[in-house]
Amino acid sequence: MQAVDFENVCFSYGREGEGFSLNNINFSVEEGEFVAVLGQNGSGKSTLARLCNALLTPRSGKIAVLGMDASDPGNTFEIRKNVGVVFQNPDNQTVASIVEDDVAFGPENIGLPREEIGRRIDFALKAVGMEAYRRATPARLSGGQKQRVAVAGVLAIRPKVIILDESTAMLDPRGRKEVMDVVLRLNKEEKMTVLLITHFMEEALLADRAFVMHKGEIVMRGTPREIFSRADELETYSLTLPAAGYICKKLQAKGLPIADCLRPEELAKEIERCASRQNI
Amino acid sequence: MRIEAEHINYTYNPGTEFAVQALKDISLTIEEGEFFGVVGHTGSGKSTFIQHLNGLILQPSAQKKYRPKKPKKGAPVPPPSVLKVGGFDLLNKKTDFRALRSKVGMVFQYPEVQLFAETVFDDVAFGLKNFAKEPLKPEAIEEAVRSALETVGLDYAEVKDKSPFDLSGGQKRRVAIAGVIVTRPEVLVLDEPAAGLDPLGKKELMALLHRLHADWCKTVVFVSHDMDEVAENCSRVAVFADGQIKYVLTPRALFSKFDELDALGLELPAAAKIARLLHEEGIDIESDFTPDDFAEKAAAYLSARLGQTEKTEKGEGGEA
């Protein structure tokens, strides 16, 4: 089944006729897929995320989440139970003063029995590697740890889809890696559907598919590699290649026989191969 | 203004069970004219240190209630501390910290969350009015606000009467920075100024900082987690870990310490990652670890190698 399906979706924050924040969006994400969304600030990425779990409803068009119509208020509760969003700032999404209470907030909200809530907390904290911090105070955790608790809070309601709306933007490299490792594992092992909104091109490389948004429209689609192979087009949307990809393009521009690379490991191998001149 | 710190310690919640020593014997000199980078993990003490620079965190001796204690007999005498920014002595409670703060601008992480006024003009003018010793003439305020907004690349006439909350994320951040530079500080301290911006926004912001630096803000100190940004922009970098300064080096010297940085759990810029992998295979390409310079040097290396092999091949062909 499709986890998320947008059909001709338009959305606007302003009054009617003031122009759209999202214009005629069509895309779908299969269950178990890992999809990255790229685009400039203000291109409509976060609006898209909010539409996916009925925080916003479209002006026109149809959104189906796990087969449910997102415009029908009767489905809102069920949709939010299945689509969890982790936002950018960990401090804005902490509700309790103890980690386990914070994680319990979601399950309590959907009215689960007490024993089940305990099991959910165990499961969720284990999934993000934060069991040892069960009784800790979120305010005393690092950014990466807080964000992992936020992910645990989402996991505790056992959603089928998790949306990360620039969830790693405020973290240091270690924190970013912690969160991305958890997300990758959830996707690979638990087959959780992941929609990753990010400015870090290196993170987008982890996805099965990616698309680029610009001024409220989807302007590029494909695997991350396909998208990054169209560097000039990417640049018109104010996006850049991952740094290794950029260096690679520069070497190619100098006429060196280097194949397309996006990761440092690949490029190091290519330079080595080129230096020892084993031809392709 | 020159920044000079020697033997600086700082403990949060001293004397309680939550006491945490955030700075341990920090010594660091940042010369006037530097574009100085500060890196380190969350909790390494870098924020505590930079908040000292405009007196947001005061050393005990600079606090109003401070009374010097008589040293205990026989106790070891700690080395004398120094904390100076330009002519301001930050260890002395008689220092005019208000004057210091108008000279040392501080841009926090996500400064746009601190916007509060009804119009962009009022928001930018706030700091200016606040720091002025006597009320400023309206024309003087207007001139300063106009200049600050134009410096950050906003159209004065277009944005001045708008609510700052109606602007885009990148514009909001510019307004917040305008609100800091409106007093023309001589030192600008920024905590991850480019975090959360898209690649183009990051580039524009760094260009703006370099413009300020070249123009009138002589010393820029910025905290960053993005090592590529550090490699491309800084004159020198201080690495904080566990409340101490581990290294103060140029980016070129710092990022060639592959193993040491690994041990500190810090990331390398992409170019340094590639250089490291190549180094392990016996290929050494020296660069300053910016993508452009690395590409240049790698291309030169490869062209030389390819040229050589071609020559030997031709040579061999001739003999045969």
- What was the pLDDT predicted at A18? 64
Is the pLDDT confidence value at B199 over 60?
Answer: yes
Give the closest residue to A228 by CA, choosing from A208, A205, A259, A199.
Answer: A205
A238 to B199: CB separation less than 8 angstroms, yes or no: yes
Which residue's entry shows tokens 């690349």? B153
A264 to B200: CB separation less than 8 angstroms, yes or no: no
Strand order in the sheet with A2-11: A22-30, A2-11, A60-65, A68-69
Domain that holds residue B52: 1-94+187-194+218-254
Q: Are residues B250 and B269 both part of a single domain? A: no
Q: Which CATH number goes with the domain that contains B27?
A: 3.40.50.300
Count of residues in chain A = 280
Q: Closest approach of chain B CAs to the CA of A107, in angstroms?
A: 31
User: What is the mean predicted confidence (pLDDT) over A164-185?
Assistant: 86
Is the pLDDT confidence value at B20 over 70?
Answer: yes
Mean pLDDT of chain B: 90
- What was the pLDDT predicted at B42? 76
Q: Are residues A7 and A92 both part of a single domain? A: yes
Q: Are residues B246 and B304 both part of a single domain? A: no
Give the A-side interface with B, CB within 8 Å. Answer: 39-42, 88-89, 142-144, 166, 169-175, 199, 201, 238-240, 242-244, 246-247, 250-251, 254, 256, 264-265, 267-269, 271-272, 274-275, 277
A268 to B291: CB separation less than 8 angstroms, yes or no: no
Confirm whether A155 is domain-assigned. yes
**Distances in Å between the alpha carbon of A195 and those of A71, A120, B262?**
20, 23, 31
Domain that holds residue A57: 2-224
Q: Which residue in chain B is spatially nearest to A253 when comparing CA positions?
A: B299
pLDDT digits (tens, 9 = 90+) for A111-144: 999 999 999 999 899 888 888 999 999 988 877 7
Is the pLDDT confidence value at B280 over 70?
Answer: yes
Main-chain phi, psi angles of B44, to 5 degrees: -85, -10
User: What is the mean predicted confidence (pLDDT) over A180-196?
Assistant: 92
Q: Are residues B15 and B86 both part of a single domain? A: yes
Residue A123 DSSP class? H
Confirm whether A233 is domain-assigned. no
Distance CA A23, CA A8 (A): 8
Q: At what angle are helices B291-319 and B270-280 packed, to 10 degrees?
A: 30
Q: pLDDT band at residue B245, thresholds of 50, 70 and 90?
A: very high
Is the pLDDT confidence value at A279 over 80?
Answer: no
B43 to A267: CB separation less than 8 angstroms, yes or no: no
Q: Are residues A159 and A261 both part of a single domain? A: no
Q: pLDDT band at residue A219, thresholds of 50, 70 and 90?
A: very high
CB distance from B43 to chain A under 8 Å? yes
Q: Which residue in chain A is spatially nearest to B200 when comparing CA positions?
A: A238
pTM for this predicted structure? 0.84
- What was the pLDDT predicted at B77? 80
Confirm whether B142 is domain-assigned. no
Which residue's entry shows tokens 């301290």? B189
The count of structural domains within chain A is 2
Q: Are residues A170 and A246 both part of a single domain? A: no
- What was the pLDDT predicted at A16? 65
Confirm whether B103 is domain-assigned. no
Q: Are residues A151 and A28 both part of a single domain? A: yes
Is the pLDDT confidence value at B235 over 90?
Answer: yes
Q: Closest approach of chain A CAs to the CA of B238, in angstroms?
A: 16
Confirm whether A234 is domain-assigned. no
- What was the pLDDT predicted at B317? 44
B228 to A268: CB separation less than 8 angstroms, yes or no: no
Helix runs in A110-238, H state only:
114-127, 143-155, 173-189, 201-204, 224-229, 231-236
A271 to B42: CB separation less than 8 angstroms, yes or no: no
pLDDT digits (tens, 9 = 90+) for B259-270: 999 888 888 999
Q: Are residues A127 and A153 both part of a single domain? A: yes
Confirm whether B298 is domain-assigned. yes
B126 CB-near residues (< 8 Å, 6+ apart): B117, B179
Main-chain phi, psi angles of B29, to 5 degrees: -120, 125
Confirm whether A46 is domain-assigned. yes
Q: pLDDT band at residue A54, thresholds of 50, 70 and 90?
A: very high
Closest partner residue to B199 among A42, A199, A265, by Cβ? A199
Distance CA A58, CA A52 (A): 10
Distance CA A90, CA A270 (A): 39
CB distance from B271 to chain A under 8 Å? yes
Mean pLDDT of chain A: 90
**Would you say the ipTM is above 0.90?**
no
Mutate to test the interface with B, among A38, A180, A247, A272 (most CBs of B within 10 A): A247
**Distances in Å between the alpha carbon of B195 and those of A88, A170, A256, B153?**
11, 7, 35, 19
The count of structural domains within chain B is 2
Judged by average pLDDT, the poorest of B21-25, B73-77, B129-133 is B73-77
Q: pLDDT band at residue B314, thresholds of 50, 70 and 90?
A: low
Q: pLDDT band at residue B313, thresholds of 50, 70 and 90?
A: low
- Most distant pair of Cα atoms in chain B: their distance: 91
Distance CA A122, CA A145 (A): 16
B273 to A272: CB separation less than 8 angstroms, yes or no: no
What is the helix, strand, coil percentage profile of chain A, to 5? 45, 20, 35
Q: pLDDT band at residue A88, thresholds of 50, 70 and 90?
A: confident
Main-chain phi, psi angles of A271, to 5 degrees: -65, -40
Give the closest residue to B152 by CA, choosing from B97, B102, B215, B235.
Answer: B215
Residues of B in contact with A199 (CB under 8 A): 196-199
The residue type at B94:
K
